[in-house]
Structure 1
Amino acid sequence: MTTQPPPAATLRRPPGVEGEPFGDSALMLRIADDNPEVRRAGARRLQDILLEVRPYGVLNLVAGAESLLVEFDCLAVSHGQLAQTVRLAVAGLGLQDAGPAAGAKDFVIPMVVSEEFSPDLPGVAEELGLSQEATLTALTSSMLTINLLAAAMAPMMAGVQFPGQVSRCAEPRTDVAPGSVMVAGTSAIIQPFPGPSGWKVIGRTPLTICDIHEEPATSYRPGDRVRFTVIAESRWAELEGTFLRPATPQESAPQQEGSQHGSEG
């Protein structure tokens, strides 16, 4: 008895890696795939591979949401030599089925939703064609992955299960409060310190996510997983200023304490 192979159209080839010179001493690496989730996961996996292999001449790795910038000593290695080393490393270790980052931690971040803390929620809901409640449910039912740490150690997270892309503010705010939970596209970010931002604010966490008096100043890193939960505004004083720590197994279990606009839970 013979087994017919599946049609070629049903076979998915592992994603490839594209390398582009970035100045005299850097190489920009991207994952060649149409799926943004594959590109983001592949970029994280690529960083792990290069940290493990540590190719000769590499000086630094700078992670982007869907890319990895590899800085190297141009007197020790060329763009072409480094690109070939990367291809060999990827061929040996593989990009696909990487799973969670090694040592990845889970975080559950409480947020309060109110007229003051969520100025852009009505507009985001309208843009997505959802109710405000459904918009929040899409956020809180999503398991997000921290792709990179942006300015001031802000965790930039991918994977919000919105039915569409959320646009950025037409005019960025000049002063966004720390703890603000913001969205753009299908990503989320938290503002660690007061400052400008063009992302749309839909909530605020009472927790302190970055504290220079802690060692390290943040308890999260790229590859960690985050889930948001809406809490009642009455709990703000209880939690305000508490430093963000990884969730316990009990806290990691999906649950929803409250709903929008500070409803009691």
Structure 2
Amino acid sequence: MNLQPAPEQPTQRLLDIEATPFGDSGLMLRVAASTAEERQAGSRLIRELVFDLQPHGLLDVVAGVDSVLVEFDCLAVSHGQLAQTIRLAAAGGARVAGGLGAAGGPAAAGGPEKTAAELFEIPVVVSEAFSPDLPGVADELGISQEAVLGILESTELSINLLASAMAPMMGSLPFPGQVSRCREPRTNVDPGSVMVAGTSAIIQPFPGPSGWKVIGRTPLTVCDIKEDPATSYAPGDRVRFRVVPESEWEALEGQFLRPAAANSRGTTDGNR
């Protein structure tokens, strides 16, 4: 007779969604959770839930770092009705096993299994031209430039959301303080620029304006409209930055960003 105790089953708990009116036709949704990573993972699940549900009156969904703004037709549905619809849908299908995981987001019980989070290793070149704000960031935080880069390299970051132009926005860097934005935003930031603000990091996919502070640049192409899909990353994926010498730029320039697992299998064209 087998006297071994049965394996402990993960506890199931409902997704606890907080809903706050945002003007006449908006609803701000958040997950009530104790940690930033749980709230960020919960916001990804809420976004997917609303997209799948397509509730009556829905006009738009705007994802934030740890919240989701749902815009709706206030003549078709009220704040309370929409909140109740989303909560009922969550209660019916979005039970979370063992809490909200940070990597890959939470899995909905009874639904298809989530694809595991990918890990991306992104080379970064640091130079006077590629890192114009690094000295100022170090001064603001009261640490050395080497320490700023050390924190960047040693922290595995989670992609919280895809911002404008599919830019991967990541958090959180354990800086000793918050990094302010530029007083005057740049009108044209080069693609591949690795930037920080607050305790978050982001990569500029295409040339364009930004008020984030530039501390390096990757030679890889993070978004390419010729690829299908145009990006290989998604919210919930993980990122590790690696500072490389400028001498490696030419060999890596223009290669499409792929997951680390794909690179380890070997390809015929670097990251391609």
Do the structures match in fold with TM over 0.5?
yes
Q: Is the 1:45–1:98 contact (alpha carbons within 8 Å) kept by the matching residues of 2?
A: no
CA RMSD of aligned residues (A): 2.6
| Contiguous gaps of at least 5 residues in structure 2 | 1-12, 106-113, 265-272
Q: Is the 2:14–2:90 contact (alpha carbons within 8 Å) kept by the matching residues of 1?
A: no
Per-residue deviation, 1:235: 0.5
- Which residue is equivalent to 1:46? 46
Question: Counterparts of 1:232 and 1:116 in 2: how far apart (Å)?
Answer: 14
Alignment of 1:35-184 (within 5 A): 35-51=35-51, 54=53, 56-57=55-56, 58=58, 60-72=60-72, 77-91=77-91, 93-94=94-95, 97-99=99-101, 100-101=104-105, 102-103=114-115, 104-184=117-197
Q: Secondary structure at the match of 2:183?
A: coil
Q: Could you report, residue by residue, the CA deviation over 1:174-198 in whole angstroms, capped at 9, with x for unpaired residues?
A: 2211110000011001111111111
**Sequence identity of aligned pairs in percent?**
66
- Which residue is equivalent to 1:261? none
- With normalisation by structure 2, the TM-score equals 0.77
Question: Counterparts of 2:66 and 2:100 in 1: how far apart (Å)?
Answer: 15
Change in Cα spacing, 1:250 to 1:153, as seen in structure 2 (3 Å) is closer
| Contiguous gaps of at least 5 residues in structure 1 | 1-12, 252-265
Question: Counterparts of 1:116 and 1:168 in 2: how far apart (Å)?
Answer: 19
- With normalisation by structure 1, the TM-score equals 0.79
- Which residue is equivalent to 1:199? 212
Question: Counterparts of 1:37 and 1:246 in 2: how far apart (Å)?
Answer: 21
User: How many residues align structurally?
Assistant: 238
Q: Is the 2:159–2:171 contact (alpha carbons within 8 Å) kept by the matching residues of 1?
A: yes
Question: Counterparts of 2:125 and 2:215 in 1: how far apart (Å)?
Answer: 9
- Which residue is equivalent to 2:3? none
Per-residue deviation, 1:208: 0.7
Q: Secondary structure at the match of 1:39?
A: helix
Matched residue type, 2:206: F
